Structure 1
Amino acid sequence: MRPALSRLWAARVARFAPVALAVLMASSLQAQEPQRIVSIGGSVTEIVYALGEQDRLVARDTTSNFPEEVSQLPDIGYIRRLSPEGVLSMNPSLILTEEGAGPPEAVELLEAASIEFAEIPAGYDREAVLTKIRRVAEVLSVPEKGEALAAEVAADLDDAAEVAAKEAGAAPRRVLFVLSMQGGRIMAGGTDTAAEGVIRLAGGVNAVTGFEGYKPLSDEAIIAAAPDVILMMARGGEMGVSDEDLFAQPAILSTPAGETRSVLRMDGMKMLGFGPRTAEAVVELAHALAGD
């Protein structure tokens, strides 16, 4: 793997009245504070830091948890459960968000707030990462920085692809991504998801292809998927799933992954964010799938 990967981060560091009031406050300060950016979505926030433009940030969402110093910024909530009042209370001159922010009515209010609102397109392949970087840099008026970062990340992704191809060999492993397990039901990642994207880049095969997005699987579907490996996010709390709970499921135990108790856990934002650290995630997953 190129040394650039390890240097990448070391080198860079009913409710309408309150909304209307916040809009007026934000609009009045826009000319005075043109650098006030609220960043919504972990990957775009990482890109802002990678571009060296983090001093312009005044707030971030809950999924923006890397690099560590971003936690010092105010948290305006989860990307899919935004409060317009909370966002506008930061008096932003720019709202920078990943595609998919919500709920829709909150986004509509933010877009109507006479504040620049930039939505960065999603995608789950090499080109999507580079497009994100260039688009964020364009919005921040630093296109030269964007091209330099895109070139570095592109080279890292190419190196990661070589590692993945070497590790996968002739028999790619079937991977079942488990997003959560609630009430004994497995919520898995199907097609057109970040989970499928990183699995593919790492040389694996998504074990579930019968639907798009993330959906609950029946026991029969789990058994038919026949995964060699279970892939999950490393997290605790209410959303965490222990190995004991996972392999207590009879359907999971009936799969090759269950028989060998093969489960991999990775940092969720690095694995699914499709930002500057995607090459790291691909190499890490490729090695793990190969049993290194």
Structure 2
Amino acid sequence: MPLSPSRRRLTSAILALVVVSSAAGCAATTDPVTGATATPDTAAAQCPGADVPLTELVAAASPATLTGESTACLSSQAIEPIAGTPTPALPVTVTDNDGLTVTVTNADRIIAVDRSGTLAATVFALGLGDRVIARDSSTEFPGAADLPLITQNGHELAAEAVIALAPTVILTDRTVGSRDVLAQLREVGIPIVVVTADRSLSDNAVLIGQVATALGVPAAGTALTERLTSETDATIASIAALAPQNPADRPRILFLYMRGASSIYYIFGAESGADSLIDSLGGIDVASEFGWQGMKPLTAEALVATAPDVLLVMTNGLKSVGGVDGLLDTIPALQATPAGQHRRIVDMRDDAILAFGPRTSEVLDSLARAIYAPDAS
């Protein structure tokens, strides 16, 4: 599915931020911008209450009455594969997202790279994880964390490292690796399939279908899509029951991207993926309501005008500005909003919050807990 002009502009903006921010150097968990790493699955020990179903949680009468920051964490980073181990039916010839005709003859040695780790997670969920031979800096879930790292300085793909591993197919969405590097890899005969870079609930089926088709396991792709759709629909239904029933009480949510070391602050609006996320969480995407599309630089006027009740942010982005206190000091206008006054900042791992793909249901579940019933965790 070709990118719309607005999506292309958005992807270019994100890539620019990746380049600018790669030298910022944030610590702690995996940062898809800087490549900082942490021990996989440490979140599992930090999510008390995650075993209580959403349907059993009691939410505040109105999210606007809540105070204090919250962290949404996945109880496990593991990727659950579909039942059975599919056998790729190859060769297959596909027209990729760049419009190129690519023939894949062998899927024994797969490299799948993107800025959020979604492609590798998809390959593992399809049941082909034992064929993945390398990882990018955002791929740290169990089963992949010990693979050779082939990105450097954040998300620069190292051509020599890739060639040395002799992959039989590479899957990418162009958020990792420059055109020159990909051209170099094609010149040595490695089939490269470029898939969609769009990330939202509605794009999950497209992404899974493209990956499964390129690897010769379309039936597995259908099975994974059906499972993910069922899980996500059930989670969204549980969130709808947990969220305020009166539309006027729905939380007004703003997604803010930040990298303090580079003084980068962007609002994510319509067609950014954040709008799809917020809508599924039963919230009002105030950036879209304000008419903002894609990514826009933050302004004090827009922040005050949108009047968010809750800010969604990436964990390492929040750390880069010195946490909630640092954010409030850095952006004084935030203190004129309900979110700032009540310190309602919800953070989540950078490699999860907008990744979508196989972990969509778990991401929504974790964010809903942090937004509606943070005391339960």
For the criterion TM > 0.5, the same-fold answer is: yes
Distance 1:240 1:82, change over 3 A: farther
Quote the RMSD (CA, aligned, Å). 3.0
Aligned counterpart for 2:240 among listed residues 165, 185, 189: 165
Q: Give the 3 Å change call, closer, same or farther, for CA 9–77 of structure 1 in structure 2.
A: closer
**Which letter maps to 1:194?**
G
Deviations 1:195-233 (A, max 9, x none): 222112212222223444334212222112211111112
Deviation per CA, 1:115-143, whole angstroms, max 9, x where unpaired?
11112213343331122222222222122
- Per-residue CA deviation, residues 68-125 of structure 1 (Å, 9 max, x unaligned), is 2311111111685323333323221111113533433333333444211112213343
SS at match of 2:231: helix
Q: Which SS does the other structure have where 1:276 is aligned?
A: helix
Distance change in 2, residues 1:186/1:9 (3 Å)? closer
Residues 133, 240 of structure 1: CA spacing in aligned structure 2 closer, same or farther, 3 A cutoff?
A: farther
Structure 1 counterpart of 2:148? 74
Looking at structure 2, the residues matched to 147 and 8 of structure 1 have their Cα atoms a distance apart, in angstroms, of 23
Which of these residues, 109, 115, 120, is aligned with residue 36 of structure 1?
109
Question: Are 2:254 and 2:285, in contact at CA under 8 Å, matched by a contact in 1?
Answer: yes
User: What is the DSSP-based 3-state SS (H/G/I as helix, E as strand, rest coil) of the residue aligned with 2:339?
Assistant: helix
Residues 276, 184 of structure 1: alpha-carbon distance in 2 compared, 3 angstrom cutoff: same
Uncovered stretches (5+) of structure 2, i.e. residues with no partner: 1-52, 55-73, 83-103
1:174 aligns with 2:252: yes
Counting only pairs closer than 5 Å after superposition, residues 80-99 of structure 1 correspond to structure 2 as: 80-99=155-174
**1:58 correspondence with 2:140:** no
Q: Deviations over 1:135-180 (max 9, x none)?
A: 2222221222222211111100111221232233323212121221
Cα distance in 2 for residues equivalent to 1:53 and 1:69: 11
* 2:268 paired residue number: 189
8 Å contact from structure 1 (residues 187, 216) kept in 2: yes
Q: Is the 8 A contact 1:101 1:107 kept in 2?
A: no
Q: Across the two proteins, how many residue pairs are aligned to each other?
A: 272
CA distance in 1 between partners of 2:264 and 2:150 (Å): 31
Contact 2:209 2:222 in 1 (8 A): yes
Whole-Å separation in 1 of the counterparts to 2:370 and 2:323: 19
Code of the residue aligned with 1:174 in structure 2: it is R
Q: Partner of 1:260 in structure 2?
A: 342
Q: 1:172 to 1:122 in 2, by over 3 A?
A: farther
Contact 2:235 2:365 survives alignment (8 Å): yes
2:358 match: secondary structure:
coil
Q: Which residue of 2 aligns with 1:25?
A: none
Q: How does 1:142-291 map to 2 (within 5 A)?
A: 142-168=217-243, 169=245, 170=247, 171-182=249-260, 186-209=265-288, 210-235=291-316, 239=320, 241-248=322-329, 249-291=331-373
Change (3 A) 1:109 1:172: farther
Aligned residues of 1:12 and 1:51 also touching (Cα < 8 A): yes
Q: CA 1:211 to 1:237, structure 2 compared with 1: closer, same or farther past 3 Å?
A: closer
| Distance (Å, rounded) in 1 between the aligned partners of 2:156 and 2:76 | 34
Flag the structure with higher helix content: 1
Q: For residue 20 of structure 1, what is the aligned residue in structure 2? A: none
